[in-house]
């Protein structure tokens, strides 16, 4: 008997063949519309194709269903079909055979080999670049970076799980005029002895950043208003002075940028100090988040600085770009706003750097897919950049078409008021503070629930539960949607939460400790699996879907699909655990089979959580 991979896919193929055989007059393959059965007493799956086909063919739906059933070959997979398999207006109900499911589950557990669990490693590995994190110098990571870190990291993990080569790239905002502003500002503070490198914190840097920006902000509107409404020479002189000072500050920042660009050692040293302080804090937060992002994955905007002139020249030389009122633009088909690559004052832009990045990623790294886990509010930017890159040929994979450039856009994290999540005073919420609070709150829950565990264990568990709660909440929301940040909801042990999944995993493990205590833990490794009870059937069906779910995450770039799946698997496990005795199963063979099911379930849960980048615990 053939092992059932994902039964719904096997059924789909068999139904497609039956429909084609029953109605050869149909032009092409027909979707058999296989869904999980709504009434499990009639079967596990149903095909709903007969009704639409009947309309198309001018026949009675039940006759169409009967014709399909006559051609259907489900030997070894499903219980034999009878008249009763056709229900209502023409649904075809399918009950899978327990032995087919058991064979499928046994195949998941390819013991001794790589821990495969139904995830098929690709036979044609691709190089996939995943753009993630992307913090900015002299700024704390805020709540938005939660999303730009955990979502693309989970996407990267799915590709890795499938055997692709992933290159993570954190496109750090570490170059350009704003960075020159804060560099100049910090240099002044250092020179004046008001700041020492050894004690400089990221908070202090962020303040300097804001101060530098404010100093360069010219109140041109104010000046215009004063003049237009004739508000008097005194006021005009005051505003004029502000504008002059700001212009001076602005010009100084441009000088600093020139110095950075020409590698002036003193200026670069100050920049490097800002870089190091920012990146140390950033990488620490990434590590606490269990996101696989290290210094090796960091390729900031500064790493492209030397290439920008060449990019613009290349675009102009080949007629890809045009000069428009002194600026250089690439017009992109279908977009009203062209992609600006050099300002009329000669400055380069965010888009110029991203073009250089695509060129490097595809031409040098050999990426055939480049995926950007970036805020949805940057959609236009990526449309422009992708369009320009394709037009320029930067996305051409040598001898293999054009690389897929994809914006895995995510929505905004909202506060309880439904507006973007901010502190009471309207500031961005620091990500590190949120992690601290999640862990503190988790600690209270863990102290309550697991009072008997040692202090160090409770601390470790609370850390994992807090991080899992935050990450799961973020990952489980459909990527492009906004969601409301809510500590109480994310930390609940019931429902669609990270702690619920960790708890389900712990349950699959603790059963083995209990079985050992009772001396009933032997013989389950490699035991014959039998699937007879409805709850066993549901669990097996859930287990068999895992591989395709991981594939769907890589295809759609939507980690929430895996989140949802793991909840469904946990729920199926929970029902199995309630309805089927494991340690005290009616006979030894059943006990072994069920223990082995617990083990496989635990491994799929652990593997799924790892693929999402969610930390787990052994007990709680």
Would you tell me which residues interact with ligand ARG (CB under 6 A)? 131, 134, 136, 171, 173, 354, 357, 372, 374
Provide the minimum distance between the beta carbon of 136 and ligand ARG in the complex, in angstroms, as a whole number. 5
Neighbour tally for 263: CB within 10 Å:
8
Which residues, in sequence order, are bridge partners of residue 515? none
Six-digit token string for 257: 């940028």
DSSP state of 427: P
User: What is the rounded CA–CA span in Å between residue 71 and residue 58?
Assistant: 20
- Sequence-distant (6+) residues with CB within 8 A of 330 are 315, 320, 321, 322, 338, 339, 341, 384, 387, 388, 391, 392
Six-digit token string for 297: 């994955």
Please report, for residues 93, 133, 282, 296, 354, the alpha-carbon distance to residue 279 in angstroms, rounded to integers and kept in the order given.
Answer: 58, 11, 5, 12, 20
By beta-carbon proximity to ligand ARG, the closer residue of 32 and 152 is: 152
**Contact (CB, 8 A) for 484 and 415:** yes
Provide the minimum distance between the beta carbon of 286 and ligand ARG in the complex, in angstroms, as a whole number. 15
By beta-carbon proximity to ligand ARG, the closer residue of 376 and 459 is: 376
Provide the minimum distance between the beta carbon of 256 and ligand ARG in the complex, in angstroms, as a whole number. 20
Provide the minimum distance between the beta carbon of 28 and ligand ARG in the complex, in angstroms, as a whole number. 41
Name the region of 47 (left: φ>0; alpha: ψ -120 to 50; beta: rest).
beta
By beta-carbon proximity to ligand ARG, the closer residue of 312 and 614 is: 312
DSSP state of 361: I
By beta-carbon proximity to ligand ARG, the closer residue of 34 and 340 is: 340
Provide the minimum distance between the beta carbon of 14 and ligand ARG in the complex, in angstroms, as a whole number. 45
Provide the minimum distance between the beta carbon of 145 and ligand ARG in the complex, in angstroms, as a whole number. 8
Exposed, middle or buried by CB within 10 Å (0-12, 13-18, 19+), for 73? exposed
By beta-carbon proximity to ligand ARG, the closer residue of 427 and 618 is: 427
**Contact (CB, 8 A) for 594 and 582:** yes
Provide the minimum distance between the beta carbon of 395 and ligand ARG in the complex, in angstroms, as a whole number. 14
Please report, for residues 17, 66, 94, 551, 553, the alpha-carbon distance to residue 31 in angstroms, rounded to integers and kept in the order given.
Answer: 10, 17, 16, 20, 22
- Sequence-distant (6+) residues with CB within 8 A of 390 are 402, 405
Provide the minimum distance between the beta carbon of 298 and ligand ARG in the complex, in angstroms, as a whole number. 12
By beta-carbon proximity to ligand ARG, the closer residue of 137 and 502 is: 137
Provide the minimum distance between the beta carbon of 377 and ligand ARG in the complex, in angstroms, as a whole number. 9
By beta-carbon proximity to ligand ARG, the closer residue of 357 and 600 is: 357
User: What is the rounded CA–CA span in Å between residue 599 and residue 574?
Assistant: 14
By beta-carbon proximity to ligand ARG, the closer residue of 142 and 594 is: 142
By beta-carbon proximity to ligand ARG, the closer residue of 47 and 183 is: 183
By beta-carbon proximity to ligand ARG, the closer residue of 353 and 593 is: 353
Provide the minimum distance between the beta carbon of 134 and ligand ARG in the complex, in angstroms, as a whole number. 3
User: What is the rounded CA–CA span in Å between residue 264 and residue 70?
Assistant: 81
Provide the minimum distance between the beta carbon of 178 and ligand ARG in the complex, in angstroms, as a whole number. 11
Nearest Cα residue to 175 out of 284, 267, 83, 37: 267
DSSP state of 41: G
By beta-carbon proximity to ligand ARG, the closer residue of 298 and 508 is: 298
Provide the minimum distance between the beta carbon of 162 and ligand ARG in the complex, in angstroms, as a whole number. 24
Nearest Cα residue to 563 out of 611, 596, 492, 519: 611
Cβ-proximal residue to ligand ARG, closest one: 134
Helix axes 546-556, 560-579, angle to 10 degrees: 160
Longest Cα–Cα distance of the chain, Å, equals: 99
By beta-carbon proximity to ligand ARG, the closer residue of 109 and 307 is: 307
């Amino acid at each position: 008997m053939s092992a059932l991979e994902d039964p719904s896919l096997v059924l789909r193929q068999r139904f497609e063949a039956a429909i084609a055989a029953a109605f050869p007059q149909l032009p092409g393959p027909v979707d058999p519309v296989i869904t999980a059965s709504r009434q499990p007493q009639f079967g596990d799956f149903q095909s709903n194709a007969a009704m639409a086909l009947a309309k198309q063919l001018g026949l009675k739906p039940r006759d169409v269903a009967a014709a399909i059933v006559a051609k259907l070959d489900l030997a070894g997979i499903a219980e034999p079909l009878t008249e009763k398999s056709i229900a209502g207006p023409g649904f075809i109900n399918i009950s899978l055979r327990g032995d087919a499911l058991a064979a499928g589950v046994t195949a998941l557990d390819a013991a001794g080999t790589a821990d495969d669990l139904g995830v098929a490693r690709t036979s044609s590995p691709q190089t996939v670049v995943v753009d993630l994190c992307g913090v900015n110098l002299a700024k704390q990571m805020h709540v938005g970076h939660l999303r730009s870190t955990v979502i693309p990291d989970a996407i990267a993990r799915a590709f890795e799980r499938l055997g692709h080569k992933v290159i993570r790239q954190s496109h750090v905002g570490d170059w350009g005029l704003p960075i020159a502003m804060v560099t100049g500002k910090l240099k002044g503070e250092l020179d004046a002895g008001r700041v020492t490198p050894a004690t400089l914190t990221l908070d202090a840097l962020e303040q300097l950043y804001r101060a530098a920006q404010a100093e360069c902000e010219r109140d041109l509107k104010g000046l215009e208003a004063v003049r237009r409404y004739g508000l008097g020479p005194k006021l005009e002189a005051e505003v004029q002075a502000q504008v002059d000072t700001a212009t001076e500050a602005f010009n100084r920042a441009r000088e600093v940028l020139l110095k950075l660009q020409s590698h002036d050692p003193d200026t670069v040293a100050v920049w490097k100090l800002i870089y190091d302080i920012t990146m140390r804090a950033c990488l620490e937060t990434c590590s606490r988040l269990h996101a696989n992002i290290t210094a090796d994955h960091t390729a900031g905007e500064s790493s492209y600085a030397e290439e920008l002139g060449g990019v613009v020249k290349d675009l102009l030389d080949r007629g890809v770009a045009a000069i428009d009122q002194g600026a250089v633009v690439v017009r992109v088909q279908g977009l009203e706003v062209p992609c600006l690559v050099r300002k009329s004052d000669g400055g380069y832009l965010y888009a110029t750097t991203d073009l250089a990045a695509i060129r490097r990623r595809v031409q040098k790294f050999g990426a055939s897919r480049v995926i950007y886990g970036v805020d949805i509010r940057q959609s236009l930017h990526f449309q422009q950049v992708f369009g320009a890159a394709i037009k320029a040929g930067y996305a051409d994979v040598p001898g293999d078409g054009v690389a897929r450039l994809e914006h895995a856009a995510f929505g905004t994290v909202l506060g309880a008021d439904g507006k973007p999540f901010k502190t009471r005073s309207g500031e961005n919420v620091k990500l590190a503070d949120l992690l601290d609070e999640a862990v503190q709150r988790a600690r209270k829950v863990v102290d309550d629930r697991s009072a008997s565990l040692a202090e160090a264990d409770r601390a470790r568990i609370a850390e994992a539960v807090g991080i899992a709660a935050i990450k799961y909440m973020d990952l489980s929301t459909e990527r492009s949607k906004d969601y409301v940040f809510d500590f109480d909801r994310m930390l609940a042990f019931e429902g669609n939460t990270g702690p619920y999944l960790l708890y389900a995993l712990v349950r699959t493990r603790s059963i083995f400790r209990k079985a050992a205590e009772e001396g009933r833990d032997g013989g389950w490794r490699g035991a014959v699996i039998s699937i007879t009870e409805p709850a066993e059937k549901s669990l097996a069906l859930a287990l068999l879907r895992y591989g395709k779910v991981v594939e769907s995450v890589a295809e759609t770039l939507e980690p929430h699909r895996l989140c949802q799946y793991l909840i469904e698997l946990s729920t199926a496990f929970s029902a199995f655990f309630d309805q089927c005795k494991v340690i005290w199963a009616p006979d030894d063979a059943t006990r072994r089979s069920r223990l082995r099911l617990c083990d496989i379930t635990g491994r799929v849960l652990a593997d799924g959580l790892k693929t999402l980048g969610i930390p787990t615990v052994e007990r709680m």
